[in-house]
Chains A and B, each alone.
Chain A
Amino acid sequence: MNTDAADTHSPHLDLDDLLTEASGQAISDRAQEHLAICWHCRAEANRWNLVAGGVRALAAAAPESAPPARPWQMGPRVLAGPKRRATLAASAAAALVLIGGASYGMSAALSGHAPGTARTGTKTAALTAVSGCAGLEQADGTLEQVNGTSLAIKTASGQPVTVTTTASTRASMFRAPLSDVTDGASVIASGHRSNGTIEAGNVSVGLPRIRSGQVQTPSGVASVQGTVSDASAAGFTVVTSTGTQVPVTTSSATRVMIFRASLSELQTGARTIAVGHAGPDGTLSAIVVLQSPWHGRLQVNGCSPASIDDAITTALISGR
């Protein structure tokens, strides 16, 4: 993280931090706090997360390869093309006895797991370990169906995951209608600033207060947190904790992020991330379900509900 005292205008995360975050590894508390409040760094982190997600999804989608031949059958490679393939196929068949479960091991290692987190059972192969809390898992894919309190998610590699929810499971989602932005709602509105007015690109409703109380944004873009008043079809006013009133305009392009939605509001066919604990039968008991364009890998600082909530909030406000 850039902490150069002489450079007070660029306290942003550096490439190392961004790559670390995209790799699902822990970044410093200071970097994490900055990420939670800085629009610019969240956007950059989200771009790297998307790239990392694409690479991981490609790796997860890699087909099974033929198991290796027995060592004594792997002589100097002199054959090529179809003839060699035939030789390999024959030796691979013999090798199956030796390798045993190798093909599953290969599949699990890249079927969505973080490197080094391959599991021993086939039923959890579609889940990804969440960095920072042992046992916390993430299913990332498309919502196929909502059946009462359970969800059916299909991962990018085509694996189905059943997600169960309880009354305490929180569902959060992005959606277009502005009807949730009503007087008294707690919001964060972000967008281009023009003559003291924010033209909102995103409005987050019901988010817990961002710790610093202020969101850093790149030049020309502003973000304000507070309570909605004078809500209308054209916009609303945000009253901050200090009483400052900031006019916000909205349009059909404004997206609204709902922090607490009901399961029935989730949209089938939309990208969905469920975070929770895997059961022995491979189902995921969800703590939270997100429908968000965010492509990052969730990272928590411990297993406490507050820590998980913090991480989810960061993920949500990182959504584009």
Chain B
Amino acid sequence: MNDPQRDAGATTLAASPGPTCDDAQLLRRIGQGDESAMAAFYREHGRVVFAQVLLVAGERVLAEEIVQDTMLAVWRGAGSFRGESSVRSWVIAIARRQTRDRLRGRRLRVVDDAFLADQPGSGPGPEVMALDRAELAEVMGAIRELAPPHREVLGLVFAAGLSLPEVAAVLEIPVGTVKSRLTAARTALSRKLNEKGQNR
């Protein structure tokens, strides 16, 4: 559904402004080898990165290692930050690459677009109704069981707080695909809840 007042590619979840002065300054100092800046960077972004990685990787130890690797990459690559995105989305993109590398050949499976773009029906079916009946704790449990790409996109939007264009940049997919993946993730979540409801 289009709003004529909105540009075709623009979204309400607009791209965040570029990096804040604080963030940019931190990265500059990190690039100069300032360890206290690295500590400050970790305080600012570490927890969000860890939660996102944990959501996708699903294992605490593995997630901690990936975050360590991510912070090492930040330490080494701070000078390469061009300021074309927010620092938050930049570091999450690094973490995502680290996660992908660690999971490659282990259990990360290729999920085709047809699966990811699985769309809900037009009316409120039983799955949607399952979501309507669900409690928060049930939803949390069902999210854990989603496919990694679905957990990933939900985490980027709702936990990491990235805008849709930022999520698109991190995932290296168009904004439209981000939206369809979000919708598919919700559909998959509803199905999980519906299955659980039927098994109760």
Q: For chain B, residues 1 to 50, give those with C-beta under 8 angstroms from any C-beta of chain A.
A: 1-6, 11-13, 33, 35-36, 38-39, 42-44, 46-48, 50
Contact with B along A48-61 (1 / 0, CB 8 A): 10111111111101
Sorting the interface of chain A by its residue count into under 10, 10 to 19, 20 to 34 or 35 or more gives 35 or more
The residue that A43 contacts in the complex, of B36, B38, B132, B164, with Cβ under 8 A, is B132
A271 touches B136 (CB 8 A): yes
B1 touches A50 (CB 8 A): no
Residue of B nearest to A27 (CB): B12
Q: How far is the CA of A278 from the CA of B196 in the complex (A)?
A: 39
Is B65's CB under 8 angstroms from A114's CB? no
Are B3 and A14 within 8 A (Cβ)? Answer: yes
Q: Which residue of A lies closest to B34 (CB)?
A: A71
Chain A nearest CB from B89 CB (Å) reads: 11
Query: What B residues does A65 contact at CB under 8 A?
Result: 46-47, 50, 54, 60, 63-64, 67
CA of A51 to CA of B157, assembled, Å: 11
CB distance B157 to A23 under 8 Å? yes
Q: Which of B2, B12, B13, B157 has the most C-beta atoms of chain A within 10 angstroms of its own C-beta?
A: B12
Complex CA–CA separation, A116 to B154 (angstroms): 18
Which B residue sits closest to A107, measured CB to CB? B47
A43 vs B133: C-alpha distance when bound (angstroms): 11
Q: Which of B12, B51, B160 contacts A62 (CB 8 A)?
A: B51
Residue total for B at the interface (Cβ-Cβ under 8 A): 64
Does A286 have its Cβ within 8 Å of any Cβ on chain B? Answer: no
Question: B4 touching A4 by the CB < 8 A rule?
Answer: yes
* B93 within 8 Å of A (CB atoms): no
Please, which residues of chain B bring their CB within 8 A of the CB of A62?
A: 47, 50-51, 54-55
Mask, B48-86, CB within 8 Å of A = 1, is 101110110000110111011101100100000000000
CB–CB B134/A50 < 8 A: yes
- With contacts A54-B136, A116-B161 taken as known, whether A15 is within 8 angstroms of B43 at the C-beta atoms is no
Which residues from A are CB-within-8-Å of B55?
55, 58-59, 62
Q: How far is the CB of A221 from chain B (nearest CB, A)?
A: 10
CA distance A109 to B72 in the complex (A): 21
Residues of B within 8 A of A209 (CB): none
Q: Beyond A102-B42, A102-B43, is A58–B159 a contact (Cβ under 8 Å)? A: yes
Min Cβ gap A17→B in Å is 6
Question: Which A residues touch B159, using CB under 8 A?
Answer: 55-56, 58-59, 110, 115
Q: A55-B55, A65-B46, A85-B61 are in contact. List 13 more A-B contacts (CB 8 A).
A: A3-B4, A47-B131, A50-B131, A52-B157, A54-B136, A58-B55, A59-B159, A65-B50, A68-B42, A71-B72, A71-B75, A74-B75, A106-B43
